[in-house]
Structure 1
């Protein structure tokens, strides 16, 4: 497989190709399920187009808890099938599909009652481990029982009276936005036409049959039509809106649940592992994240702006109150570096409380030629994509004179996965080859895998690209350039919020890096001085609006404040 760069030229070529030929499958939605569907279809030998109105993973798929997990709480709900499925996917991602992007992470589950709780929780975690091993793809160590002293050695910031002991178990974590982008690039490598910043304005129909979509290229302002034998709607929380373009009644509906997360510096909490805590509504995670901790999440109904869900002051206070209940040194709002809010696309109609709505997914065929996939959780994106394409293939069978192969994505590594373990073993040699400290090589390998050579190629002609980004010293200047040349980044937002995580990993929310990043991107993308200045101005206004929303008391006022900053490319 040859790596494909999601370059400006590739985007133009993809638009041209989709405009001139009828595709087997058009996928609408560039989140993890949409990109996964494009990859699944492309690896079956089908002609595929993938379109996204904003940036890849700009919605739910960049705003998760960054966990690849089976979901311990679903065991308590007796949803064994969902847990087993998710644990199988966790093992595949860790060991075969994306070992460069998905890594094991240890968690403590503090016990607050003696004897019975250790037996009860221990049985659950033992089942969790057993189910992962029965799948043949565990990829993580077994759980362990700890005394209170043993637990506090691993997490010294835990209050002594907050636990009587603990269980340590393992799950995995991922940079969700980077992973989603890698799925899109891998789909492109297998022949998919991939285009971001292209919005569906209508579905094309012949009689009752959906035969394609009219697209608005938000970068150029032009319209183009894509014809396809089957259209897959993988738009997450926008499912109902996209489905309505077909003029047919949906078979199911999606309800949005808001979850917010806080990011704090690593030195604010002393611990070598993560925490999982029970709350009155759900669970709370404290997750190691490089030089930071991620604390989340909430679970509340949301019916306001879906593109930019806002975190309110009450959301932030809720998380701080719950995490401070177990910490020796309480966190304050001044400790919070970043805040992000995302929306879960939950299947509606099963419960009044969003925390009890199903994380299962559903696939429907509401009109001939149109497939809808909704619900689910990040970890099981590959299964969701397979099921969506299976449904589309059912509709294609009558139009083909050959058998369409079954899904193979369980055996398809993402770009960068092949050779990753060997490169990690040889990171000393790579450090010497490129004149970088070994820490930087390890950082790059965990973000790009075997594509590290592509990232550092530009540094041969411009050694300054090996320098850290000003105002964002956790990333190299070369990474900004590579984001624009190879990873489909079209705007400053794309780099600061998704290709890197400076928008949540610095106290200034990335504003200190925006001028240098815009300068580097502008040289690649041919920006005028006016466009570069507009990108910087927009990013700063976005940060101001987000900070203002986080000072508002409730959802309505937070949403109004966040809407004070428009998109850099208006969605219209």
Structure 2
């Protein structure tokens, strides 16, 4: 179980056990590797120097998508692989992934035309193995405007209409990690790998530091995998960088706007004046739009959206939706993420491949570089195959293709709606309204029973929080290793991005409940308050540049 309260006990386990595999990195890639390995029978530890998913895995476009734009770059194999993976991810985590019909409008003189769009989407359907009821449709200009009246009408010839899958990237990551922990992996956040331990020139372990307590520990493992995303080269530098290949980081930002200011009805994938492609997606009363693609050389830990980034997105919105004239003040929040791409000489950011590669040093450090959110499971399978081959461990093939993630064991997408409806009715017995229970069931899937149990207990004292929020926080502390208020508001709920007003309303009550539950000292409470304010400022700092 991923309990923040039981975290010190897990640290002792890390310090006293010989593992088959240690995974450094608690983003979606590391989480997938831990799950694949532990379900094959390997003993597995995973450490993450920040919170789980704190890097790229909580800062994406939040789509499990098939990479239509990679077809344009003729990366046919990538489209085929990640296209098929979309459906697997969806069926295994139906509570954090849902189909999203996407409009791809084409205008005279634009990047796409009716013939190229129709042909491209047809090839896409074939390569990705898209099921019949989700295959592409071609729409006339009238049908297109019916789907989304805000679109630019000048030169509009029609649109392609196809399915992507919307997700919550941080939630997807935590559900993978929870499943790995359920299967026996020891996963701990806020543990930084400091240095490698060698025997006869081979890595046999890692010295780590608990970032919350300052305590040191040594983890012994037969094999070590570096799955740290933007920090891949920094971890390799602790060992040696031998193969000459390195990462090239690019930054992408997204903006969130209230639906009152940008009442988008339909998700749209559209081209910009400079030939890039941008998503605009409605979500829970908000519209979010992104992304940019610029080279990034600063600290990957704290990327932020600049006023220049935000203005670029706002100009793109006005260009495609002329009636929408937005100022930076109408942007409620932003997020910025770093793409850890494999360096390719002379290529612009958008041209660099999103492919993944495995690198291995002479000391045995295995590094997974590049890759995409959608392909995480397949990447993990490939990495664990490599680990097993190199270590001669007697383990078989991957078991994750049909393995529901934590919360996802509802019997597949066909049964999910009935499950949510049943739980919405049941939740009223625990002090929740029908709508509150429904939202919790849709968000947490089959784990909702634990939230109902907390709701029942917390009715007497919610620490000044609405009952559903108090239940979410209690569950996060006990089952999702939620150690700080920022963990809760940024990655466990996504509220800093999609409900920032709610964060301002309830941040102090959350801090007080966490102080009681986790035993914060006054100094720790002050530090975690400050950390949350930093996250809120990062989401809105572009406004100061525009002031």
Please say whether Structure 1 and Structure 2 have the same fold, judged by a TM-score greater than 0.5.
Answer: yes
Q: Are 2:92 and 1:101 aligned?
A: no
Contact 1:336 1:507 (8 Å CA) reproduced: no
Match of 1:566 in 2: none
Query: Residue in 2 aligned with 1:185?
Result: 178
Secondary structure (helix, strand or coil) at the match of 1:65 reads coil
Is residue 448 of structure 2 the alignment partner of residue 455 of structure 1?
no
The secondary structure found in structure 1 opposite 2:511 is: helix
**In the TM superposition, what is the alpha-carbon distance from 1:428 to its structure 2 partner?**
4.6
Q: Which residue of 2 aligns with 1:556?
A: none
Name 2:261's counterpart in structure 1: 268
Q: 1:419 aligns with which of 393, 410, 415?
A: 410
- What does residue 290 of structure 1 align with? 284
Checking the alignment, whether the CA contact within 8 Å between 1:492 and 1:514 is kept in structure 2 is yes
* Offset at residue 250 of structure 1 (A): 4.0
Q: What corresponds to 2:326 in structure 1? A: 331
> Is residue 216 of structure 1 aligned with residue 209 of structure 2?
yes
Matched residues in 1 for 2:462 and 2:436: separation? 9
Shift of 1:505: 2.2
The equivalent residue for 1:557 is none
Distance in structure 2 (CA, Å) of the matches to 1:265 and 1:547: 14
* Matched-pair contact (CA < 8 Å) for 1:210–1:367: no
C-alpha distance in 2, partners of 1:211/1:50?
A: 15
Gaps of 5+ in 1: 554-572
Q: Structure 1 CA distance, aligned partners of 2:33 and 2:325?
A: 44
Q: Does 1:152 align with 2:121?
A: no
Q: Deviations over 1:134-191 (max 9, x none)?
A: xxx6496222222222222221222322623222111101100111011111110111
* Matches of 2:266 and 2:461, distance apart in 1: 34
CA displacement, residues 242-279 of structure 1 (integer Å, 9 cap, x when unaligned): 01111342452111100000011123223332010112
- Does 1:438 pair with 2:434? yes
- C-alpha displacement of 1:435: 4.2
Unmatched tracts of structure 2, length 5 or more: none
- Once the two structures are superposed, what CA deviation does each residue of 1:290-320 show, in whole Å capped at 9, x if it has no partner? 2211100000000011100121110000000
Q: Select 1:490's aligned residue among 477, 483, 488.
A: 483
Change (3 A) 1:443 1:351: farther
SS at match of 2:46: strand
Counterpart Cα distance in 2 of 1:261 and 1:393: 39
- Distance of aligned partners of 1:434 and 1:156 in 2 relative to their CA distance in 1, 3 Å threshold: farther
Kept in 1: contact 2:270–2:320 (CA 8 A) = no
Q: What is residue 235 of structure 2 aligned with on the other side?
A: 242
C-alpha deviation, 1:330, in angstroms: 1.8
Report if aligned partners of 2:32, 2:377 keep a CA contact under 8 Å in 1.
yes
1:148 and 1:166 in contact (8 A); partners too: yes
* Displacement after TM superposition at 1:42 (Å): 0.3
**SS of 2:481 mapped into structure 1:** coil
Tell me the residue number matched to 1:567: none
Shift of 1:509: 8.1
**Cα distance in 1 between the residues matched to 2:358 and 2:55:** 20
Look up the SS of the partner of 1:262 in the other structure.
strand
For the 8 Å contact 2:4–2:483, the answer to whether it is kept is no
Q: Is the 8 A contact 1:350 1:357 kept in 2?
A: no
Question: Residues 187-242 of structure 1, C-alpha deviation per residue, up to 9 Å, x if partnerless?
Answer: 10111011111101101112321111000011111111111110000011111110
Name which of 27, 51, 54 aligns with 2:23.
27
Offset, 1:535: 2.0
- 1:353-410 deviations in Å (ceiling 9; x for gaps): 111111110001112431110101110011111111111112210xx4xx21111111
Alignment of 1:131-170 (within 5 A): 131-133=127-129, 138=131, 141-161=134-154, 163-170=156-163
Give aligned pairs, total: 539
How far apart, CA to CA, are the structure 2 residues paired with 1:508 and 1:394?
Answer: 51
Partner of residue 117 from structure 2, selected from 114, 121, 134: 121
Deviates further, 364-373 or 306-315: 364-373
| TM-score, scaled to structure 2 | 0.93
Query: How far apart, CA to CA, are the structure 2 residues paired with 1:459 and 1:170?
Result: 36
- Native 8 Å contact 2:427 2:452 kept in 1: no
Distance 2:438 2:355 in 1: 36
Residue 312 of structure 1 contacts residue 551 of structure 1 at CA under 8 Å; is this kept in 2? no
| Mapped partners of 1:458, 1:284: distance in 2 | 41
Give the deviation of 1:531 after TM superposition.
3.0
SS of 1:50's equivalent in the other structure is: strand
- 1:88–1:138 CA contact under 8 A, matched in 2: no
1:453-532 to 2 correspondences below 5 Å: 453-463=449-459, 469=465, 476-506=469-499, 508=501, 510-532=503-525
Q: 1:216 to 1:550 in 2, by over 3 A?
A: farther
1:83 paired to 2:79 = yes
Give the direction of change, closer, same or farther, for the CA distance of 1:529–1:19 in structure 2 (3 Å limit).
closer
